[in-house]
Structure 1
């Protein structure tokens, strides 16, 4: 790809539907542009019980969930994605922690993809430790090493570090994307992403 490289830092959570759509769109854009993407963790519902919570029990106004799901479904269908909505909201903390272990072992991309697809395409409970361990093992990660890692402060510190990074930009939600020095919040259209990318490319080419 004979193009200047653009660095992207993307903040997301596995249980955020707009994060999955944003992920899918970024992956498609990587087929066209030289984007070097670093995915960073952000836990949007740390209050969720370890065992998860039924969607119907979440404290939202009547009709909110239905409208939100319809909006997400519409956005996904624009990309030809058929989402499978689970009836439970998992606690994503363990998935985020194990993803940081995968990063240390240079397996982050594979694990990240598998967890997103397990939840959004297959409707699986990604708060389930056994499921996450099996996903990790399927890409060659050692379960005993993961257990040792989880018994340290490192995964907690990594997630907190990412939270502080994002808040320095003045944001407290995901998905958020930092393209070099330009910020995009939300799962925006390809047109919005491309406008920012092309602006950065033009600037880089003019600098040379």
Structure 2
């Protein structure tokens, strides 16, 4: 019996291309019938982001030099891709970027409950579709509860920061591997693919990986 294909995904729930890339990969995996196991890893797009977050237009302008018109064009492009992939982007003029250090801690805890993937998907939806404030620990605990995790325990995890060191070490590990942007996907612990590649490209990658195992 061959082992499932190990897929390590380094991402941040603030990153729209991370959910787009994942949904593309998901479709490719389903189409190819590839036996696989996914492991999510932390990356903070904006580790210095203040707790109150920042207006999205303002943030994109400061970080990338994009005009409001360019940001709107980019949003429309991503929304169209999302529609094709069954993911609903709902940006508004009030959309904000948030600090995600606590979201990564909550994900680390969810991993001990066997629910990391489910929580990751819920957080993407909470941020991009429902525009919830992921800087707010109360909101994060609510989201955990909504997928069936213990809300009191989730709140305690965020309050005492018990997974802070684990998250920092995870972030540092992938930075030391040369990861400086997301999404970053590592197949079989050795083949790095960056950016959202598109369904067809992911299918091609999976085919090549399968041939290497023959």
TM-score between the two structures when normalised by the length of structure 1: 0.86
Q: Which runs of 5+ in 2 are unaligned?
A: none
How far 1:60 moved relative to its partner?
4.3
Q: Counterpart in 1 of 2:80? A: 77
Instruction: Summarize the Cα distance change of 1:122–1:57 in structure 2 as closer, same or farther, 3 Å threshold.
Output: same
Give 1:1-208 correspondences, 5 Å limit.
5-32=4-31, 33-58=34-59, 59-60=62-63, 63-64=66-67, 66-80=69-83, 81-86=87-92, 87-152=95-160, 154-180=162-188, 181-205=190-214
CA distance in 1, matches of 2:50, 2:186: 31
Aligned with 2:179: secondary structure? Answer: coil
- 2:12–2:182 Cα contact (<8 Å) kept: yes
Q: Deviations over 1:117-156 (max 9, x none)?
A: 1111222222222221111112232233224333555422
CA distance in 2, matches of 1:104, 1:65: 41
CA distance in 1, matches of 2:211, 2:3: 10
CA distance in 1, matches of 2:29, 2:162: 30
Once the two structures are overlaid, the 10-residue window that deviates more, 177-186 or 46-55, is 46-55
CA distance in 1, matches of 2:99, 2:129: 18
CA distance in 2, matches of 1:167, 1:62: 24
Q: Deviations over 1:44-88 (max 9, x none)?
A: 101111121122433246644542452353244235244112521
What is the RMSD computed on CA atoms of the aligned residues?
A: 2.3
Q: Which runs of 5+ in 1 are unaligned?
A: none
- 1:43–1:93 Cα contact (<8 Å) kept: yes
CA distance in 1, matches of 2:75, 2:204: 23
- 1:90–1:125 Cα contact (<8 Å) kept: yes
CA distance in 2, matches of 1:65, 1:47: 23
Deviating 4+ runs (over 6 angstroms):
none
